[in-house]
Chains A and B, each alone.
Chain A
Amino acid sequence: MGEIVSQIAAKYNYLAYIALMMIGFYAMIAKNNLVKKIIGMSIFQTAVILYYISSAYKTGAGIPILSHGTGHGHGEQVIRAADYINPLPHVLMLTAIVVSVATLGVALALAIRIYDRHKTLEEDEILEQLKEK
């Protein structure tokens, strides 16, 4: 039991992302309003982005910019990987953020088109209108 608790405590960040993901997922599935669904989608994507970023983190490491540590002017030092957080996930997530923004844009544009046509964003009302036609 204690082991499980300590494991959970050690990986609280991942649990947080899973919680975020589920919140987003819930919103996409259960909400009736299209914009709320879109917000859910954004939360859902963000959870995964955070997941990547936190995987790159190392305790006590700095940002991955080449600085020469404390010994300025004392010649070059060996670059140790442990001193820097992993830059690759950050780069990957830059791309993923761009993708998610684009998705958000397309989704909102579609929502606007739907609103123009049906004058509502509630899904059940739209379906009602479509059925009447």
Chain B
Amino acid sequence: MEALVSIKPFLAVLIPLIAIPGILSAKNPNVREGWTFAAASLLLVVVGSMVPAVLEGKSPAFQMVRIMPHLGLALRVDALGLLFALVSSSLWIVTSAYSVGYMRGLEEHSQTRYYCFFAVALGATVGVAFSANLLTLYLFYEMLSLATYPLVTHHQDAEARTGGRKYLVYILGTSIGLVLPAMVVCYALTGTLEFGPDGIMGSTTGQGLTALLMLLFVFGFAKAGVMPFHAWLPAAMIAPTPVSALLHAVAVVKVGAFSILRVVTGILGVDHLAGLNLGTVLAWIASFTIIVSSLIALSQDGLKRRLAFSTIGQLSYIILGAALLNPAGLTGGFLHIAMHAFGKITLFMCAGAIFVATGKTHISQMDGLGRRMPWTMLAFLAGSLSVIGLPPLGGFISKWNLLLGTLEPGKEPFLAVLLVSSFLNAAYFLPIVYRAFFCAPLDRDCRGPRNEGPLWAYLPPVITALISLVLFFYPQPFLALARAAARTFTGGG
């Protein structure tokens, strides 16, 4: 890829952070949210403006500071990073609109703090997406962990405290305890941490050491929720729903999956892993998480908890895609970042909209809700179908590519995993929709006439549901970016 010195990646990281003084100083809530919207829109413009250049094979890069003799904080945009940044920044706008409806609808306290840390989290997410080396990625990864903590514990009660504690123990514990040593060992072995298209390990590193490093990274980036380091995600559902929607369906968890993708492709190297036959190990780890989390999701009655376990499973699809180590699998994995994001955020925002309108959090209370909130439940249906991977919704495209990736000799078991999991997805999503539309209303709250709560709370999920629909017919620029990224890493020209 042709490097291109540009300040745009740095601007993209900076824009959310620049908004913070504005958010803090605004006297009027509308002005405050104005700052958020301005920053989000500007961010999308800056990120979007880099798409043509990246598709042409250029990669805008920016060196922030040389921090150690051979290691600096540097940003570089490639197709994979841009894909992720594009998803996060476009969904930030939608989520901000939704936050207004949700937070004001519930008259939440400390909203200024909430919007501030939300902006920090977004800046960190974009930073992870654009990191040019593992050190920079680690920095933004930790920044995201810390910025999310006040959001998780927003309610400041005993439950939030437990959830927040679990969140920190898992996230900080693994990043310090597993990723940091792995990073140091990598640096000691190779003298660099720059992501390269073929990895930096080279063929000199033996199977045992590579396997150890791979496991340290895969479990260390616990934001990806690979079992057994997944338990923080259901615990973090204590956060306000917009946080769960953007951070725990898109930004934070995808940062984990994205970091694993980065390490697999940029540090360990696709060819290196394939040569040592370690892709299969990773694929089995991911498969285990996919199946087990889906089974757990079946038994959850709390809507957000069910969605959380679903997310854990879907994240491992991304990792499975990377573990297949072939162009189709990688494309599917990369694309799933985008497709799952639009689908899952729809589901979370629906869950929040239901809570704002009726105060309901459990699936068993939602019989007949479709009569009162038809638009919300239709959006929920669309989101479910996308996550299950049925046409005509975006999720189908990523799953299709993943399936193509498994059509290689020796990878048939993973085809079965994907099919079983899709079946399980359907089994835990569709009953919710069925209950809402076809069961008799349980109580007065579920009965008509139509009353969907504040417009700002139910419009955003409808919008993201529509986007999911559009993405099936026109999956650009995500598909092009995912293909370009997969090409780079598999050396397919």
The reply to whether A and B meet directly (CB within 8 Å) is no
